[in-house]
């Protein structure tokens, strides 16, 4: 995995010379835009099927735990705030601050899958599984897909922290392109959750 | 097989024309044969699955027994299964090509070994099992309708529900592309491959849902995956084509005869 960071870092250096106007690496922009388009298709499909079975979807929605959903939203937004502050600190070369801020972001980020399990396990244990109905199939598949993104994001944030720590130890500025790329990904995860939360928990 | 061979001939003629080397002396001939077997293989599969047997697009999981029996015992399905039995091995040739190119990447050999193992499992559940199920219906006309319905379910679930097993395969390829410092394949292809492998996971739902978007003929479990998969498969091959073309000859891994090596 070490080589991943170095490869990405090397690619970032090249990109930095080509396009200074965009934060992060261009290949990550490609990934984010495509990922948002794919989720967009799922969201539109959800709305269409919801329109066809509105009563079923509204009834099933009542079984979701809005408290945990809202807490998870706050958790992710807070984590994203720390990522933004950490990126800002890294930009001005404050590696020590950046390292702490990214550490806080990871702490909040880890809470998300934990709370997700607190939400899922009681549901599954009383028999509300993806086979229950179309709403719950959507619910488990979409939030599960998002959870995969969160877990990948935590790994990426780990690499960002490693990058910042190395720069702190060798007292040179952190690789900004790489830090920005990780931050971009984490904000995308955040954005997707906001839409998921609205569609599944809030929409009436 | 003959189609694949003639394909490789034309490719090598165009590729080596400027070098003045006859195609059969091209040092990458092995890879080009593998490469051109792939479009041949997929075109054959396309013909067999769609216009010949109408196995694809998938028939409804909610079909009534008489419809299932009529499909399972149709003569076209018999011809389709015969062709598949003969051509199935070609998938191994195509996968060998991926492994060849993955060998050039600056990543652990674990990636290509696991990739090959995953591809083998994929070919067994994704192709061999359905072929046996549909073949049993077509070649053994005496079965009860209930048994044919079971084979029909088994065949389709194995064919579409196994897409999850390609998840590992494509994830390994994606990771290898992203970790590779030699830029054997472009980085954006690595990301596209991640979408491809993640959407494969949606096919897991076909085991639960019998109708709607998550059934094996559904909008999300099948059609949207196809929208991502078909262009991906083509793009991957264009990228692999360029990778073979740009591969320096000194990098080819064929073992050379060792002078005076009389092992026998």
Peptide bond connecting B101 to the previous residue in cis, omega within 30 degrees of 0? no
Name chain B contacts of A8, Cβ cutoff 8 Å.
178
How far is CA B237 from its chain centroid?
Answer: 12
CA–CA distance, A104 with A97 (Å, rounded to integer): 11
Per-residue pLDDT tens over the stretch A186-201: 999 999 999 999 999 9
- B107/A3 Cβ within 8 A: yes
- Nearest by CB to B202, from A34, A49, A141: name it: A141
Closest residue, chain A, to B212 (C-alpha): A134
Whether the pLDDT of residue B264 is over 70: the answer is no
DSSP string covering chain B? -HHHHHHHHHHHHHHHGGGT--GGG-TTHHHHHHHHHHHHHHHHHHHIIIIIT--TTTPPTT--HHHHHHHHT-HHHHHHHHHHHHHTTHHHHHHHHHHHHHTTSSS-THHHHHHHHHHHHHHIIIIIHHHHHHHHHHH-TT--HHHHHHHHHHHHHHHHHTHHHHHHHHHHHHHHHHH-SS-SS-HHHHHHHHHHHHHHGGGGGGGT-SSSTTSTTSIIIIIHHHHHHHHHHHHHHHHHHHHHHHS-GGG--PPPPPTT----
- Nearest by CB to A134, from B180, B192, B212: name it: B212
To the nearest whole angstrom, how far is the Cα of B65 from the nearest Cα of chain A? 24
Do B155 and B134 contact (CB within 8 A), yes or no? Answer: yes
**Contacts (Cβ under 8 Å, ≥6 apart) of B140:** none
Whether the pLDDT of residue A7 is over 70: the answer is no
Average pLDDT over residues B17-36: 79
- Nearest by CB to B213, from A30, A35, A49: name it: A49
Whether the pLDDT of residue A140 is over 90: the answer is yes
Whole-Å CA distances, A178 to A70, A103, A146, B35: 31, 16, 22, 36
To the nearest whole angstrom, how far is the Cα of A136 from the nearest Cα of chain B? 11
What percent of chain A clears pLDDT 70, i.e. is strictly above it?
A: 90
- pLDDT classification of A21: cutoffs 50, 70, 90: low
Q: How high does pLDDT run on average in chain B?
A: 85
- Nearest by CB to B106, from A3, A8, A45: name it: A3
ipTM: 0.78
CA dihedral A103, A104, A108, A110 (to 10 degrees): 20
Average pLDDT over residues A156-176: 90
CA–CA distance, A150 with B197 (Å, rounded to integer): 17
**Contacts (Cβ under 8 Å, ≥6 apart) of A5:** A159, A162, A163, A178
pLDDT at B262: 63
Whether the pLDDT of residue B171 is over 60: the answer is yes
pLDDT at A69: 95
Name chain A contacts of B179, Cβ cutoff 8 Å.
1, 3-4, 7
- Nearest by CB to A31, from B191, B209, B214: name it: B191
Residue A65 DSSP class:
-
A170 vs B20, higher pLDDT: A170
- Nearest by CB to A3, from B181, B198, B213: name it: B181
B100 touches chain A (CB under 8 A): no
Whether the pLDDT of residue B141 is over 70: the answer is yes
CA–CA distance, B48 with B62 (Å, rounded to integer): 23
**Contacts (Cβ under 8 Å, ≥6 apart) of A76:** A108, A109, A112, A189, A190, A193
- B205/A137 Cβ within 8 A: yes
Whether the pLDDT of residue A157 is over 60: the answer is yes
Dig out the tokens for B182 from the structure: 């030699």
Dig out the tokens for A115 from the structure: 């709370």
B213 touches chain A (CB under 8 A): yes
- B212/A49 Cβ within 8 A: yes
Whole-Å CA distances, B220 to A43, A58, A140, B114, B230: 11, 21, 14, 28, 15
To the nearest whole angstrom, how far is the Cα of A192 from the nearest Cα of chain B? 15
CA–CA distance, B127 with B84 (Å, rounded to integer): 9
Task: Using the structure block, give the residue that is written with the tokens 């690499």.
Answer: A159
Per-residue pLDDT tens over the stretch B175-215: 999 889 899 999 899 999 999 888 888 888 999 988 889 99
B187 touches chain A (CB under 8 A): yes
pLDDT at B199: 85
Residues of A with CB under 8 A from a CB of B: 1, 3-4, 6-8, 10-11, 27, 30-31, 34-35, 38, 41-42, 45, 49, 130-131, 134, 137, 141, 145, 148
- A3/B220 Cβ within 8 A: no
Do A188 and A146 contact (CB within 8 A), yes or no? Answer: no
């Amino acid at each position: 995995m070490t080589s991943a960071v170095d490869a990405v870092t090397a690619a970032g250096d090249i990109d930095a010379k080509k396009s200074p106007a965009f934060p992060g690496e261009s290949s990550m922009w490609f990934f984010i835009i495509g990922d948002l388009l794919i989720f967009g298709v799922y969201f539109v499909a959800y709305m269409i099927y919801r329109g066809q079975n509105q009563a079923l979807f509204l009834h099933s929605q009542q079984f979701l735990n809005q408290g945990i959903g809202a807490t998870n939203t706050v958790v992710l937004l807070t984590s994203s705030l720390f990522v933004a502050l950490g990126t800002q600190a890294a930009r001005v070369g404050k590696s020590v601050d950046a390292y702490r801020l990214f550490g806080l972001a990871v702490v909040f980020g880890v809470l998300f899958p934990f709370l997700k399990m607190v939400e899922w396990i009681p549901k599954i244990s009383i028999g509300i599984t993806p086979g229950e109905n179309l709403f719950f199939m959507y619910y488990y598949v979409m939030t599960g897909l998002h959870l995969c993104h969160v877990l990948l994001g935590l790994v990426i944030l780990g690499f960002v922290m490693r990058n910042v720590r190395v720069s702190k130890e060798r007292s040179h500025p952190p690789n900004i392109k790489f830090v920005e790329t990780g931050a971009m990904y984490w904000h995308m995860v955040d954005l997707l959750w906001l839409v998921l939360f609205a569609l599944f928990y809030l929409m009436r | 097989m003959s189609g694949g061979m003639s394909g490789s001939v034309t490719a090598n003629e165009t590729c080596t024309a400027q070098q003045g080397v006859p195609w059969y002396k091209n040092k990458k001939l092995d890879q080009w044969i593998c490469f051109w077997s792939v479009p041949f293989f997929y075109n054959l599969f396309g013909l067999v699955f769609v216009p010949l047997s109408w196995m694809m697009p998938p028939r409804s999981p909610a079909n009534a027994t008489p419809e299932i029996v009529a499909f399972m015992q149709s003569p076209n399905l018999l011809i389709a299964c015969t062709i598949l039995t003969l051509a199935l091995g070609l998938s191994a040739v195509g996968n060998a090509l991926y492994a060849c190119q993955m060998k050039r990447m600056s990543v652990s050999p674990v990636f290509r070994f696991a990739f090959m193992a995953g591809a083998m499992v994929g070919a067994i559940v994704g192709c061999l099992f359905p072929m046996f199920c549909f073949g049993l219906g077509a070649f053994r006309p005496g079965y009860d309708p209930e048994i044919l319905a079971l084979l029909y379910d088994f065949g389709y679930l194995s064919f579409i529900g196994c897409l999850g097993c390609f998840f590992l395969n494509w994830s390994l390829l994606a990771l290898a592309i992203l970790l590779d410092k030699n830029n054997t394949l472009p980085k954006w292809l690595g990301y596209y491959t991640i979408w491809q492998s993640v959407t494969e996971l949606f096919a897991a739902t076909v085991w639960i849902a019998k109708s709607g978007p998550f059934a094996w003929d559904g909008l999300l479990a099948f059609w949207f995956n196809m929208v991502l998969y078909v262009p991906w498969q083509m793009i991957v091959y264009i990228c692999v084509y360029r990778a073979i073309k740009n591969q320096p000859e000194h990098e080819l891994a064929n073992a050379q005869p060792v002078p005076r090596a009389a092992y026998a």
